Structure 1
Amino acid sequence: MNLTIGSDHRGYRVKQKIVDFLNGNGHHCNDVGTNSDQSVDYPDIAQAVSRDVCAGSSDRGILICGTGIGMAIAANKYPGVRAA
């Protein structure tokens, strides 16, 4: 399965573990960031993941942040995306 995954700085370490797990189990992960635990704006990451999913570049998207609420709100602004 093709997946796009992204996190803000608060989810960076968890994202890395998820990417390693999924890649090790035969999935392809397009990691759109962030690439460190330096502060980033979560809407930018949600936008990148949502655009990939809307464009059909990925079968699914995974968004990770401190609570999940901000990412879900930002992603749900895109037609065809349902984040919870």
Structure 2
Amino acid sequence: MDLKGLYFVAFILMLGFSSTLGGFVGLSPDQCAVPAKERVDCGYPEVTAEQCINRGCCFDSSIPQVPWCFKPLQTEECRF
């Protein structure tokens, strides 16, 4: 298998792994709907999805060249 094929297989495996975790445990899907260009890095090189989520961050490895572990959108609290 050539190097491109190996990268492709690795990408597909990571994509499948991240989708099985849901990418946001304890966070709503809306909080993790951060546009790729607005993601603020929340991890470190080679952070796993589990480590990222345990930090209270979102994980989405489906878009290359942007942070996969990133800060969720902040929900505004209602105040009376």
Which TM-score tier does this pair reach, normalised by the shorter chain?
Answer: under 0.3
Q: TM-score, normalised by structure 2?
A: 0.26
- Structure with greater helix share of residues: 1
Q: TM-score, normalised by structure 1?
A: 0.25
- Structure with greater strand share of residues: 1
